[in-house]
Structure 1
Amino acid sequence: MADHQEASVTLPSDPVSVSTARRYVGDILTEWGLPADTDVADTVRLIVSELATNAVQHTLGLSPTFTVDVRLDRDESLRIGVTDSHPRYPKRLPAAVQQDNGRGMVIVRWLTAECGGRLMVCPTPEGGKTVWITLPWTVPVQS
């Protein structure tokens, strides 16, 4: 495997695209050597689901697409970014007990930190933003 890998997909800002993004990242990571049935793979798929959901739900229809970038530096880190064209940064919404929303970024921050990673939000030159997570990359040695 090469020392550096990159993959990306652009999807319509539609709820159906969330599962497509999750599957895409899962398939890429499997191709790069991370078995699909690991806790790390499950965690990454959940993070991607939350970030893609935010890109669809919270851009107020102003971002017709979102892009998922996956980058791997073999001995260093896995970076996943979700980019949309809406300038508003994600923020923590009050989560009422009876509501199903408002917890996405809390979940992403917690899972990322739990894995020893970090989360960043960066503006894009086009006026949107990318939410990046960076995680340590470790793949079980296959015999």
Structure 2
Amino acid sequence: MADQLEASVTLPSDPVSVAAARRYAAQVLSDWGLPEDADTADTVRLVVSELATNSVQHTFGQSPTFTVDLRLEREEWLRVGVTDSHPRWPKRLPAAVQQDNGRGMVIIRWLAAEAGGRLSVSPTEDGGKTVWLALPWPAGAPAGTTRGR
């Protein structure tokens, strides 16, 4: 296998794109040999849904698209990123606000910790940001040989 497999898709910043992003990520993981019912596959589908939803809802129309990136590094780490061009980084909302919404990043942080992974945010050259989740690739899971999609 190559040292790194990569796949990405750019979608319109529209609520219907969230499901498309989730399906895309699931298909890439399947192509890379991760069983659909694996815990890591479930985690990635949830993370992509949450991050894509955040991108659509919280960029206030200032990011016409968002990009989902998947990278498998040396069959050790799976990195999942969602990039948009809005400069505001995600933040934890006060507990009172979290009653009805605002728990997405809390859930993602918990999933990352539970899986032995890491959550990070990095700036993009155009002033936006990418929210990354790095997860250990499941031991024994085969990794496909195709590069990109």
| Fold shared, TM-score > 0.5 on shorter chain | yes
2:53 is equivalent to residue 53 of structure 1 = yes
Report if aligned partners of 1:34, 1:139 keep a CA contact under 8 Å in 2.
no
Distance 2:52 2:16 in 1: 10
Report how far residue 44 of structure 1 moved.
Answer: 1.0
Q: What is the SS of the residue equivalent to 2:80?
A: strand
Moved more, 36-45 or 46-55: 36-45
Query: Structure 2 vs 1, CA of residues 98 and 130 (structure 1 numbering), >3 Å: closer, same or farther?
Result: closer
Report how far residue 49 of structure 1 moved.
Answer: 0.5
RMSD, aligned α-carbons: 1.7
1:13-48 CA-to-partner distances (Å, cap 9, x unmatched) read: 111111111110011001001000122211110011
Moved more, 131-140 or 46-55: 131-140
Q: Which has the higher contact order (CA 8 A, sep 6+)?
A: 2
- How many residue pairs get aligned? The number is 142
Report how far residue 94 of structure 1 moved.
Answer: 2.9
| 1:29-40 alignment runs, 5 A limit | 29-40=29-40
Report if aligned partners of 2:40, 2:138 keep a CA contact under 8 Å in 1.
no
Report if aligned partners of 1:74, 1:137 keep a CA contact under 8 Å in 2.
no
Stretches of structure 2 that go unaligned for 5 or more consecutive residues are 143-149
Which residue of structure 1 aligns with residue 110 of structure 2? 110
Moved more, 97-106 or 120-129: 97-106
Query: Structure 2 vs 1, CA of residues 98 and 134 (structure 1 numbering), >3 Å: closer, same or farther?
Result: closer
Q: Which TM-score applies when normalising by structure 1?
A: 0.92
Stretches of structure 1 that go unaligned for 5 or more consecutive residues are none
Which residue of structure 1 aligns with residue 69 of structure 2? 69
